[in-house]
């Protein structure tokens, strides 16, 4: 797949799955703008790596809290003006906080629902809005959202996370229908567990073997395998797959 001359925004693009997505686009010729929330050192390190991978373009990093609607619109405008446009937006940034009913008080329950929905659902909805307006004016584009297997399977420890990802899937389906006339194609990737820094402790614990055994492949996904599905949905030729949800869960949950 060739993304030469494509301009891509990847939220949460400097680490974890987002890092693999940013890298995959850069390797295939794209110019990448990565949005991160806190870890500037890691973001700068990733930027250097991306520049080495694809020195043809000036790649960019932007710090922003995408759960803030004003910051989201501002960041989108900054990305577009620095890139000189945008062809592909990947809503990858997300948070997941444990808050099972039996472990939190009502105040924390409220707080975690609000934070999770603001980051995982409203943030992407706002970025989709900004991106769509731009892409309508430019004659088309692609949006890929990163959801989760938990949208289908449930998330007993993180109910707000599961609901936010189910909402994100529904958002992608709605937009795929309403934006198709504008040649804007919207897809969703729903990974199961992925090998990132965040899952490292769990996978090293006594629960790790059970998690690996959920898949007949006996392992969890690599971030590059999630990126591969993103590339497909963003690629030329995938137009008729708009509205689809690609599971990247090693057959650990079939629906």
Closest-CA residue to 162 (of 131, 128, 192, 141):
192
Q: Which listed range, 14-22, 130-138, 206-214, 227-235, lies at the site for ligand NAD (CB under 6 A)?
A: 14-22
Give whole-number Cα distances, 173 to 22, 88, 124, 142, 185, in Å: 24, 17, 13, 13, 10
Cβ proximity to ligand NAD, 54 vs 92, nearer residue: 92
Is 161 marked active-site? yes
Among 173, 199, 215, 241, binds ligand NAD (CB under 6 A): 199
Which residue in the list 19, 106, 161, 253 is annotated as catalytic? 161
The contact pattern for ligand NAD, residues 21-40, with x = CB under 6 A and - = no contact, is --------------xxxx--
The contact pattern for ligand NAD, residues 129-158, with x = CB under 6 A and - = no contact, is -----------------x-x----------
What is the rounded CA–CA span in Å between residue 177 and residue 165? 19
Under the criterion CB under 6 A, does residue 214 sit at the interface with ligand NAD? no
Under the criterion CB under 6 A, does residue 128 sit at the interface with ligand NAD? no
Angle between helices 159-179 and 106-117 (to 10 degrees): 30
Question: What is the nearest approach in angstroms of ligand NAD to the Cβ of residue 219?
Answer: 12
What is the rounded CA–CA span in Å between residue 143 and residue 19? 17
What is the rounded CA–CA span in Å between residue 160 and residue 114? 9
Closest-CA residue to 145 (of 192, 183, 195, 94):
94
Under the criterion CB under 6 A, does residue 193 sit at the interface with ligand NAD? yes
Give, as ranges, the residues between 89 and 118 that touch ligand NAD (CB under 6 A).
92-96
Q: Which listed range, 9-17, 44-52, 128-136, 180-188, lies at the site for ligand NAD (CB under 6 A)?
A: 9-17
Give whole-number Cα distances, 221 to 72, 92, 203, in Å: 29, 16, 12
CB 248 within 8 A of CB 225: yes
Among 33, 191, 230, 234, binds ligand NAD (CB under 6 A): 191
What is the rounded CA–CA span in Å between residue 174 and residue 154? 21
Residues that bind ligand NAD (CB under 6 A): 11-12, 14-18, 35-38, 64-67, 92-96, 119, 146, 148, 191, 193-194, 196-199
């Amino acid at each position: 797949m060739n993304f030469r001359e494509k301009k891509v925004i990847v939220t949460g693009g400097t680490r974890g799955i987002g890092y693999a997505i940013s890298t995959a686009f850069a390797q295939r010729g794209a110019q990448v703008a990565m949005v991160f929330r806190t870890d500037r050192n890691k973001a700068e390190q990733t930027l250097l790596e991306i520049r080495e991978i694809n020195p043809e373009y000036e790649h960019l990093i932007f710090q922003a809290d995408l759960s803030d609607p004003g910051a989201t619109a501002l960041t989108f405008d900054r990305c577009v003006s620095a890139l000189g446009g945008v062809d592909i937006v990947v809503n990858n940034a997300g948070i997941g906080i444990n808050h099972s009913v039996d472990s939190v008080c009502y105040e924390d329950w409220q707080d975690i629902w609000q934070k999770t929905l603001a980051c995982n659902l409203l943030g992407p909805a706002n970025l989709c809005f900004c991106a769509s307006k731009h892409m309508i004016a430019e004659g088309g584009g692609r949006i890929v959202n990163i959801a989760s297997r938990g949208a289908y399977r449930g998330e007993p420890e993180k109910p707000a996370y599961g609901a936010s990802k189910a909402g994100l899937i529904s958002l992608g389906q709605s937009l795929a229908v309403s934006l198709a006339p504008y040649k804007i194609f919207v897809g969703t990737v729903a990974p199961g567990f992925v090998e990132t820094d965040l899952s490292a402790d769990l996978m090293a614990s006594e629960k790790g073997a059970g998690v690996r055994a959920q898949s007949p492949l006996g392992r969890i996904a690599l971030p590059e395998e999630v990126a591969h599905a993103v590339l497909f949905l963003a690629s030329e030729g995938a137009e008729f797959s708009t509205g689809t949800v690609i599971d990247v869960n090693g057959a650990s949950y079939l629906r």
